[in-house]
Structure 1
C-alpha cells in the first residue's frame, strides 16, 4: 500500500484516537521504552524479493513480483511473512549493505502465516534472538524495523484480540500496534529486551479492542513459530494432519457470513457455493462471524473431512456438504520445498 493510501486511511483516525490514546497512557502508564538507541538493530533485517510462478493460484491476488522484509535468524536463515514467498519460483535476499543472495523457501506454514528462507550463501548481518511473544502486553512500547530503515520506530501495543482473515486464517492472539507504519510486510517487532516477538503481516483499520476505526498493524507472534521451527527447516511444513480447507472467502456483514468468492475448482466451488450465498451454520450449529466459522470447521477433523454447511441461497436454507482438502494441494510448491 502506498504512503498516500496510508495517509488517506489514517488521517481521520489519528484525530479520533489521539485523545483516547493520550488518556490511556496517562491513566495506565505506558511500559518502558524498549531501547534508547533505535539504531541498535541495524543489520538484523533484510529485503526479500520473490517472483511467483505465472500460473500460481495467488499470482493474481497477491501479484507475481513481491517484496518486503525478513529477519535474520542466523547467517543463512531468514524469517518472513509467508505470503511474500508463497508459490515463489525465485527468491532473493538483499542485505542492508546491498549484497544480493539467492534463497530457497525452506518452509511455509499456512496456520501461522510464517515463511522461512535459506540463502545459498552466508549473508552475515546480525541475528535477532526469538523472544516471548506471550509476554507482550497491551500498552507496552515496542520497536519495529523494516527493510531499508536505519532506525527502528517506536510503537504502542493496542490489543491482543483475535484476528480472522477472509482466506480461512485465524490468529487467536496477534499483536496489534499503533501508529500504523507502511513498511510492515515481514518487518521485525522487537521487545524491551531487544528480542524478536513478531513479524509484520498487515495494516488494518480496526486495531483496538474497545473502539472501532483505530488503524494499526498486525504482527504474527513468534511463539507460534517455536514449536514448528525445526519441522519447517527439515521438511518444509509442520508435521501432523493439515487443517481442512474449503476454498471460500467470506465477509461478515451485520451478523451474517456472506460468501465473497470461491476458489475455482476448490472444494466450495465443487460443492456449489457461489458469491452472495450466506453461510448460516456448520454441522447444525449457527455461525455469525469468521472466527466462529473457522473454529467449528477445524474441530470437525483434519483435511479430507466432509464439512456439512447450512447455506442460505436466495430464500432457502440448504444443506451443502463440502469435502475439505489440504490447502497445499491447490498451490505450487515454492522453490526449495
Structure 2
C-alpha cells in the first residue's frame, strides 16, 4: 500500500537558544605502512596522464564543482527574520529586491535581513506578497554595494537526475547547504497551510536535497551557479512517527519566480499569474455516504468562462477534463495543470442529471 503524503512548509522560530549538531565524518588516509599504495579505499595507484602527472579523480572534480557553486551563489542567499520567526530569501537584483516565499513574510511588513557574508543586519520592507503562488518580494532599505544578485536559470532545461544544492537557513543554522538531485519535474502540489487550504502550485521541481523549516525561500541551485527554484515545502508521511518523509522536497521553478517577481517589482502587484481559471467560487459537497462527491458552484463570475459555458450556481462539478472531481482541492489541482486558453470538458450534475460542457479557460 502506498503511504499517503501530506506537505508542510514554514519558517523556524528565531529565538533558538541552543542548537546541537553532531557530525559523523568518515575518511580514509594512508597509514604509511610501506605498502606503497596511494591514499584511498582500494589501495590502487592513482591514474596518471601521458606526462606522468597525477590525473584528478572524478570525485575531486565533483567536490571542486560543489565548492565553486557554494562560493559563487551562497552570498546571494539571505536570512529573513520577521518577529520571532525566520526563513530564507534570494537577492534578486542590485537595488535590494529579495524574493522569498509568501508564507515566510506572513502578515509582516518589516523585516531584518542578514547576508550570508555577515556584516550588519539590514532593514527591509515588504513590496508585495502573492500567496496564490507562495511568492513575495521584499526590499532592503539601504542596499550595500556588495549585494550580489543571483542568476536564475532556464526552467525548461531542468532535468531529472541533475545534481542540485539547497541553500538556506534550516532550523536557524545560517548559510547551510545540502545536496541531492532533481527527482522529478512538473509536479502539481497543494500546500498544507491555512487548514489544508493552501495554494496549489504547478510545475514544481521535486528534489532529494533536504528541505527543512528555515529553508523556505532559499535557493535550489544547479552546478552552473544558477538558481533553478525556490525551496518551499517538504512532504510528510502521517504513518511515520516523526511525520517526516525524507528526500521529498519541492521548489517553485525559476520561470514562475521570475514572472511573479518581475511583476511585483515593476507594477507593485501581480496582474497576470499565467494560471488558468474557471470563473467560479465553490465548496466541497458530500454524497449520501458522507464522502466528498463534487464541488458545488456557489457563484459564477459574470462573463467568465463558466458563465459563457452555461454553468450555474447550484451545479455540482463532478468531472474536469475527464477526471473525477471529489473536492475543491481536486478542482484546484486540475486547473493548475492547465494554461489559460485551454478548452476543457467539465461535467456538472444538475437536477439529478449530468451534462458536459466545453469551457475555454480564462486567467486567474
Question: Normalization by structure 1: what TM-score?
Answer: 0.58
Which is further off, 287-296 or 186-195?
287-296
**Aligned twin of 2:185:** 160
Partners of 2:329 and 2:225 lie apart in 1 by 32
CA–CA distance in 1 between the matches of 2:292 and 2:102?
26
Relative to structure 1, the CA distance from residue 279 to residue 224 in structure 2 (aligned partners, 3 Å threshold; closer, same or farther) is same
Contact 1:102–1:119 under 8 Å retained in 2? yes
Hey, what's the Cα distance between the residues in 1 that align with 2:138 and 2:251?
A: 19
Residue number in structure 2 paired with 1:174: 204
Once the two structures are superposed, residues 62-90 of structure 1 have per-residue CA deviations (whole angstroms, 9 ceiling, x without a partner) of xxx43200011223111111111132132
Greater mean alpha carbon deviation, residues 135-144 or residues 95-104: 95-104
Whether 1:119 aligns to 2:140 is yes
Match of 1:196 in 2: 227
1:113-159 Cα deviation digits (max 9, x unpaired):
21111111104332211111221111111111103544632211111
Structure 1: tracts of 5 or more residues without a match: 4-31, 52-64, 207-212, 251-255, 260-265, 268-277, 302-306, 318-326, 328-337
User: Cα distance, 1:280 vs. partner?
Assistant: 4.8
Q: Pairwise mapping of residues 80-159 of structure 1 onto structure 2 (< 5 A)?
A: 80-96=100-116, 97-123=118-144, 124-147=146-169, 148-150=173-175, 152-159=177-184
Equivalent pair of 1:106/1:233 in contact (CA under 8 Å): yes
Relative to 1, partners in 2 of residues 1:309 and 1:235: Cα closer, same or farther, differing over 3 Å? farther
Question: Are the structure 2 counterparts of residues 177 and 90 from structure 1 closer, same or farther at C-alpha, using a change threshold of 3 Å?
Answer: same
The structure-2 alpha-carbon separation of the partners of 1:168 and 1:102, relative to structure 1 and needing over 3 Å to count, comes to same
Aligned mates of 2:223, 2:160 — CA distance in 1? 14
Contact 1:131 1:195 in 2 (8 A): yes
Match of 2:308 in 1: none
8 Å Cα contact 2:187-2:206 kept in structure 1: no
Following the alignment from structure 1 to structure 2, what is the Cα–Cα distance between the partners of residues 86 and 178?
Answer: 27
Structure 2 unmatched ranges of 5 or more:
1-9, 13-61, 191-195, 238-244, 286-290, 300-315, 341-345, 354-363
Task: Give the number of aligned pairs.
Answer: 249
1:168–1:294 CA contact under 8 A, matched in 2: no
- Distance, in Å, in 1 between the alignment partners of 2:74 and 2:321 is 51
User: Residues of 1 paired with 2:133 and 2:331: CA distance?
Assistant: 18
Conservation of the 8 A alpha-carbon contact between 2:293 and 2:325: no
Please give the alpha-carbon distance, in whole angstroms, between the structure 2 residues aligned to 1:82 and 1:197.
18
For 2:232 and 2:148, locate their aligned partners in 1 and report how far apart those are by CA, in whole Å: 22
Q: Does 1:226 align with 2:264?
A: no
CA deviation map 1:238-261 (0-9, x unaligned): 1158966858699xxxxx6589xx
Question: Over alpha carbons, which structure has the higher Rg?
Answer: 2
Q: Would the alpha carbon gap of residues 228 and 202 (structure 1) be closer, same or farther in structure 2, given more than 3 Å must change?
A: closer
> Would you say the 8 A contact 2:164–2:209 is kept in 1?
no
In structure 2, how many angstroms separate the alpha carbons of the residues matched to 1:308 and 1:42? 49
Matched-pair contact (CA < 8 Å) for 1:130–1:196:
yes
SS of 1:104 mapped into structure 2: strand
- Cα deviation for residue 94 of structure 1 reads 1.8
Report the RMSD for the aligned CA atoms in angstroms: 4.4
1:24-43 correspondence runs (5 A): 35-37=65-67, 39-40=70-71, 41-43=73-75
Q: Could you state the TM-score of these two structures normalised by the residue count of structure 2?
A: 0.55
Deviations 1:5-30 (A, max 9, x none): xxxxxxxxxxxxxxxxxxxxxxxxxx
* Equivalent of 2:248 in 199, 211, 216: 216
